[in-house]
């Protein structure tokens, strides 16, 4: 199976805005509806699977330092440039996005499906 575009066009990830949020430019093709709507879009895991990709999330709440957590949740800081999300266990994970979600920031990773 050929690699999906999001995987084929991987580049070194640069934070896209001054607050440290980012998104791979090929990711919108995997939304189940447009992301910038009032409802916000969600990643269509079936579309990812059809493209030969699997995904996982790393949540800021469980990954950041105590200082980063305090700054974000208690002090109202909205800058994630100091957070480097942990890479999930296993090989081949690629950072595809860092977003703010309802329960706090998260990092979205994808990789080609590993078959035995």
pLDDT attached to residue 8: 44
CA distance 89 to 4: 21
Average pLDDT over the chain, rounded to an integer:
80
- Domain total for the chain? 1
Residue count (the chain): 116
CA distance 106 to 100: 6
The tokens for 86 are 């942990």
How far is CA 33 from each of CA 1, 5, 58, rounded to the nearest angstrom? 26, 19, 22
Domain with 40 in it: 5-112
pLDDT digits (tens, 9 = 90+) for 39-85: 555 788 888 888 899 999 999 999 999 999 999 999 999 899 889 89
């Amino acid at each position: 199976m050929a690699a999906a575009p999001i995987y084929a066009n991987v580049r070194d990830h640069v934070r896209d805005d001054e607050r440290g949020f980012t998104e791979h430019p090929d990711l919108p093709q995997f939304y189940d509806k447009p992301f910038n709507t009032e409802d916000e879009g969600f990643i269509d895991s079936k579309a990812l699977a059809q493209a030969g990709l699997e995904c996982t999330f790393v949540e800021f709440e469980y990954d950041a330092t105590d200082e980063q957590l305090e700054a974000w949740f208690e002090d109202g800081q909205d800058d994630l440039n100091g957070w480097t999300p942990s890479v999930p266990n296993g090989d081949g994970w690629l950072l595809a996005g860092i977003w703010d979600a309802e329960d706090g920031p998260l990092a979205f990773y994808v990789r080609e499906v590993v078959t035995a």
